[in-house]
Amino acid sequence: MKGQITQKELGRLCGVSAACVGYILSGSKKYKFKPETVKKVRQMAEELNYRPNYQARCLRRNRNNLLICIVGCACRYTDALHLKYLTQEAEKAGFQLLVQFIVGLSDEKKLQFVRNIINIPAGIFIWSFGFKNPESAAQLPEILRNAPPMMHLSHPVENINMDYISVNWGGRSFPGLLKYFADRGIRRMGCCIGVREKNSPYINRFPELARQYGIDGRIYAPSGNRGYDYYRSAGDIIEKLLEEKELPEVLYSVSDEITLVLMDALRRNGVKIPGDVTIVSGGDSEFIHYLSDPPPVLRHNIPLLAEKAVAHLVGRINDGQNNIGNNMCVGIMNQRLLFPDGSNCVLPEADEIVYS
């Protein structure tokens, strides 16, 4: 029989109800069954390798009220904001959030962790798995086949029937960001990135997307291997910018660390910000808002994401929907530009452009 047999299927094969199967295999003395019925159910369960879904049972009974968030890749301040708001929303719903970091583990150890964690009776949020090799991710569908309710907090996961929230951040926000500035007459724009963004397909499409909005778009990246050191990355970027005959009118920085270095270095070289150049920051941290002249910040609505994610996962648990999910998009989070005066603008919708 394909996959793990269910309690209902086992009952049908034995000629009894699913509830009877549960009572017999749990050893409950609530009802008495004929010895031959008990023997048949237990023997059939052994032959078909049936195992009760204990995590689903515990979820239905709300015995531990536990939610788990698996974090496989995190290095920015907004990561802490996500966890903060997820924790608050979980507590409002009467649940506790357990955050488990698997950052830095080998792919093999991450896969083993996932195998273990799905046996805990808890709803699970996936921040990211952070696998280094695609072959590791290809093992997930089999591992998660009988997993409890799960939700990915960024985008759909290929070949896995997991509900998700779609977050248009990073390179996914480029169409809206470019349209916003193209509508305001901007024709030169730069994207300043760190080492970890160099190989991102979403980031690398920036120049082509910009061209199709009538903008000369350029990527400014560090020359050496700076790792996660965005400050040193910004030093490399500044050298390249100052070699330009004409600076971009707008610079989008993926991190606030890069933003701070850019603002300081450009001003020391006589560049007015804003005025000569507008800098839009990636919104990694809240300290950027306390500068005497903070730049606009690009950020999605983190509190709303947490609210939608927790409400959906808890709803599945309380409704008894204890399987992994239906690949449902629970919500779409678009980026917002937050301005120094406290106002904000949700970036306009922009269709994905087909490359020519």
- Residue carrying structure tokens 């061209």: 211
For 210, the token pair is 């910009």
**How many residues comprise the chain?**
356
Structure tokens of 15? 């000629």
pLDDT at 355: 33
Per-residue confidence (pLDDT) for residue 1, from 0 to 100: 38
The SS3 of residue 292 is: coil
3-state helix, strand, coil in the chain (%, to 5): 40, 15, 40
Q: Whole-angstrom Cα distance, residue 164 to residue 149?
A: 11
Contact 80, 300 (CB under 8 A): no
Provide the residue-wise pLDDT of the chain in tens; the chain has 356 residues. Answer: 345 677 888 889 999 988 888 788 766 666 788 889 988 988 888 888 776 665 555 555 545 688 999 988 766 667 788 889 999 999 998 889 999 998 888 989 998 988 888 888 788 998 888 888 888 888 988 888 878 888 999 888 888 888 999 887 767 788 888 988 999 999 999 998 887 777 777 788 889 999 999 999 999 888 866 656 777 788 888 888 888 889 999 999 988 888 888 888 899 989 898 888 999 988 666 677 777 788 888 888 889 999 999 999 988 888 777 678 888 888 888 888 888 887 888 887 665 443 32
Q: Which two tokens stand for residue 81?
A: 């904001």
CA atoms within 13 A of residue 138's CA, in its CB half-sphere: 3
All residues at 6 or more sequence positions from 35 whose CB lies less than 8 Å from its CB, including other chains: none
Which tokens go with 258?
């890069």
Of 299, 290, 292, the residue nearest 253 (C-alpha): 299
Q: Which candidate, 203, 200, 207, places its Cα nearest to that of 248? A: 207
Those residues with Cβ within 8 angstroms of residue 32's Cβ, 6 or more apart along the chain or in another chain: none
| Alpha-carbon gap, residue 34 to 41, rounded angstroms | 11
Cβ neighbour number for residue 99 with a 10 Å cutoff: 16
123-128 vs 163-167, strand pairing mode = unpaired
- Pairing of the two strands 336-338 and 297-299: antiparallel
| H-assigned helices in 194-296 | 201-204, 206-212, 230-242, 256-268
What is the rounded radius of gyration, in angstroms, for the C-alpha atoms of the chain? 26
DSSP 149-193: -EEESSS--TT---EEEEE--GGGGHHHHHHHHHTTT--EEEEE-
CA–CA separation, 312 vs 330, rounded Å? 7
